[in-house]
Structures are given as C-alpha cells and as structure tokens.
C-alpha cells in the first residue's frame, strides 16, 4: 500500500514495475494479451504497470501528440464493434460533460460510443489488475496537439505565434522543435485553471499515479517563434508553477504524481518539486560513467525518486551498451557479460523507492526494440514484444531479483 507524507502526498512503497505501453503488447490492444501481461507481472513479483499516454496518437504514432487531452484511443479496443446502449451513452455524456461534446464535434459520428467502449474495457482491465495487486502509472503530456480537439475547442487558452520545444540537449544539438501550441497562462488563470483541473481529474480517474511529462515547463517553458526550422533560437518564459498546483490540490485533493524532471532543470524547478513533495526521475543510462557528481549516478539517487535503466526516449540498455566505446564501457563499472540485466539489477538495488524497468531491458533486447528516438519523426512507437517472450522462467528470475532488492510487496 502507499503511505502518506505529512502534507497528504502519496509516498510510494519500495517496489518495482514494468514500463510497457499497450501498443507494445503482441496485438497492441486491451484484450487477452493485456490480461496475460498482468498475470505475468504478478508472477514476477511486480507491483506496477507504467504506460504512456492513452489518447489518440498523431500521424507518426506518438501518444504525446494526441488529438485529445481527455479521450481514450479507440485503436486500443479489443472489441471495437461491441454494442453500446442509449443508457450508457447518456451516462457517459453526463459524467464527461466538460470535454465529450467537443471531442464528438472533432472526431465525428460514433465518437461518444467509442469512448463508452474505451471506458468499459479500460475499467475492466484496471479492476483485474487491482485484484492481482498491480497498480497503474499513467502519463500526462505537458502539451496538446496543434489543431487538435482541445486547441479547437478552447483557442483562447493558447498563444498564437509561438510553439513548443526544448533547447539543445543530449538528444539533439539543435534542440527539439515539438510544434505544440503554448498555453496562454494569463487566460487560464482567469478561468481558475478549470481546463487543467479537469485534465488532471480525467487522468487520475484512469490510473493510480500519473507521471507529469516535462514538469519543468510548469515553472518556465521554451518558446520558439512559429516558422523557425529548429528550436535552437528560443527563449525561456515563466509559467505559474506553485499557483497552478495549489489550485489543483484545492480542487482535487491528493495529487499522486511523479515529476519528469529530466533535461535542463534549474533550482526553481527543483524547489517546486520539493515543495510539492513529488518523486523525481533518475535514469541509469545518464549516470553510469558520468562520475559520482552526476545526479543519475546510483550513489546519488534519493529515496523519493523513480529509477529507470532508460525511459521510452532512450535506447534499450543493450543498445546503449553496444553504442559505447571500450573506454566508455570501462567507466560504467559494468562487466558487460549481460549488460541489460546488470542495469535491471542496478535499478532494483537503487535507494529510490520505485524502480521501473522497460520490458525491452528485462527481455535483453537491442536497438531494434527501441520505442522512440527524440528528434526523429519516423520509425518510432512501433515495437511489440513477440508472444511467448514472457516465460515462467523469466518471471521467476525477475521475482528473485525483486525479492533480493527488498522490493517484493507483502503477500506476493
């Protein structure tokens, strides 16, 4: 069970889980494969299943460019033609009245019925996972799609003339030009941040904990003039930070969140995260070989954190290892006999309360199984694990490592 801090913030137990988006299941849907995966997680002694955003992806397949900040993607449905009653339609419209009408106007005929089906299938899967003592970690993207349902429905809440991105970083020398509309924080403040309240409410109705993508943009965000070819020439602009989260807490109560605090992180960003008592993220691929001053180095991991061998934006552990030179490999301190599993065991042994392992690393797969390469528009979000990969022997190995690291939940 989760504990609580002295301000009501959720304290994650010492535990572990697997990062796998439903699209990476063998059939990429919420059907039998999803239930079998939950069973395997339980057999492996895991307590969490972390996913990526559930909204309708963009044309490249990215769930971070979803056409709606609220709607579930019908492409995940195991039974897309299942009947929907008039009573179900009316109930769903009443329960989701803030956004469902706008989504129906955007997505067209059958959109509401699809959302009823999504709610039905997702709720059934989540309840099954709960019975198996598996909880869900969701993902709340910072931005919405340019021209998507939210941008069309509430244009007054967004800026014109400038778009989103991040400055040059380890992933790209020219930065990443995301192209999403930026928020007009003054207009949002005038509404009492209603859109944000409803967005967090919706996300937290679907999962147990949510990872807040690009948390630093709630303090300051990178603004690029529309028409620029890269994100290199942008400027930092201030966002409301503490005021927004105070408003969210007043409206919603406890906020079970994880802050994605990767990238260009400044002292004000960390002050806000610590004020909110939110776990941050540490990534082993960023810390191994970087010296003990590196915050991602295992010796620097705080207890209030989530540790990953790599995220969905990194290469797989084996792919990362294969890309290193001999000198770089030596600096990591790994013996290299089974590098993916070494990172799995390092993550499990971390001081961080929660360890989340990409399934690709548990399977020991190379770069062919990479989920996303930031800054690369094509070839992402396509990986699926082959049926039969999740063997009882692999579950037993992971369970043993989890128990040895003191992460096996009571009752497993």
Catalytic member of 198, 260, 315, 345: 260
Tell me if residue 313 is catalytic.
Answer: yes
- CA 147/CA 181 separation, integer angstroms: 9
Tell me if residue 213 is catalytic.
Answer: yes
Catalytic member of 213, 254, 270, 338: 213
Report phi then psi at 89, rounded to 5: -60, -45
3-state secondary structure the chain: CCEECCCCCEECCCEEEEECCHHHCCCCCCCHHHHHHHHHHHHCCCCEEECCCCCCCCCCCCHHHCCCCCCCCHHHCCCCCCCCCHHHHHHHHHHCCCCHHHHHHHHCCCHHHHHHHHHHHHHHHHHHHHHCCCEEEEEECCCCCCCCHHHHHCHHHEEEEEEEEECCCCCCCCCEEEEEEEECHHHHHHCCCHHHHHHHHHHHHHCCEEEECCHHHHCEEEEEECCCCCCCCEEEEECCCHHHHHHHHHHHCCCCEEECCCCCCCHHHHHHHHHHCCCEEEEHHHHCCCCCCCCCCHHHCCCCEEEECCCCCCCCHHHHHHHCCHHHHHHHCCCCCCHHHHHHHHHHHCCCCEEEEEHHHHCCCCHHHCCCCCCCCCCCCCCCCCCCCCCHHHHHHHHHHHHHCCCCCCCC
Catalytic member of 184, 270, 313, 338: 313
Tell me if residue 368 is catalytic.
Answer: no
Report phi then psi at 211, rounded to 5: -85, 125
Instruction: End-to-end CA distance of the chain: give it in Å, rounded.
Output: 13
Strands 15-19 and 48-50 turn out to be: parallel
Catalytic residues: 213, 260, 313
């Amino acid at each position: 069970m989760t504990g609580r801090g002295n301000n009501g913030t959720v304290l994650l137990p010492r535990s572990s889980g697997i990062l796998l988006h439903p699209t990476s299941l063998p059939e990429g849907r919420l059907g039998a494969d999803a239930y079998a995966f939950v069973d395997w997680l339980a057999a492996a002694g895991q307590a969490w299943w972390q996913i990526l955003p559930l909204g309708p992806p963009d044309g490249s397949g990215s769930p971070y460019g979803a056409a709606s900040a609220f709607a579930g993607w019908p492409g995940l449905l195991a039974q897309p033609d299942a009947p929907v009653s008039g009573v179900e339609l009316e109930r769903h419209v009443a329960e989701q009245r803030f956004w469902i009408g706008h989504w129906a106007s955007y997505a067209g005929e059958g959109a509401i019925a699809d959302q009823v089906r999504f709610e039905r299938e997702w709720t059934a899967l989540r309840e099954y996972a709960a019975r198996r003592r598996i909880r869900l970690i969701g993902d709340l993207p910072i931005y919405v799609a340019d021209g998507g349902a939210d941008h069309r429905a509430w244009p007054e809440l967004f800026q014109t003339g400038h778009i989103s991105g991040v400055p040059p970083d380890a992933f790209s020398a020219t930065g990443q030009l995301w192209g999403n509309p930026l928020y007009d924080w003054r207009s949002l403040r005038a509404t009492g941040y209603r859109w944000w309240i409803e967005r967090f409410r919706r996300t937290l109705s679907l999962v147990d904990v949510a990872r807040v993508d690009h948390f630093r943009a709630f303090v300051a965000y990178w603004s690029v003039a529309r028409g620029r070819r890269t994100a290199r020439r942008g400027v930092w602009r201030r966002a409301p930070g503490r005021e927004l989260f105070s408003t969210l807490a007043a409206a919603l109560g406890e906020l079970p969140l994880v802050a994605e605090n990767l990238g260009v992180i400044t002292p004000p960003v960390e002050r806000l995260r610590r004020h909110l008592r939110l776990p941050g993220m540490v990534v082993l691929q960023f810390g191994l070989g970087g010296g003990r001053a590196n915050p991602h180095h295992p010796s620097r991991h705080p207890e209030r954190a989530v540790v990953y061998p790599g995220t969905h934006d990194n290469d797989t552990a084996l792919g990362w290892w294969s890309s290193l030179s001999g000198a770089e490999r030596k600096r990591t301190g790994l013996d290299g006999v089974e590098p993916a599993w070494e990172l799995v065991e390092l993550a499990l042994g971390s001081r961080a309360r929660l360890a989340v392992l990409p399934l690709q690393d548990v399977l020991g797969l190379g770069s062919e199984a990479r989920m996303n390469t930031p800054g690369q528009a094509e070839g992402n979000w396509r990986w699926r694990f082959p049926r039969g990969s999740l063997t009882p022997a692999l579950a037993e190995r992971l369970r043993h490592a989890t128990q040895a690291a003191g992460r096996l939940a009571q009752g497993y």
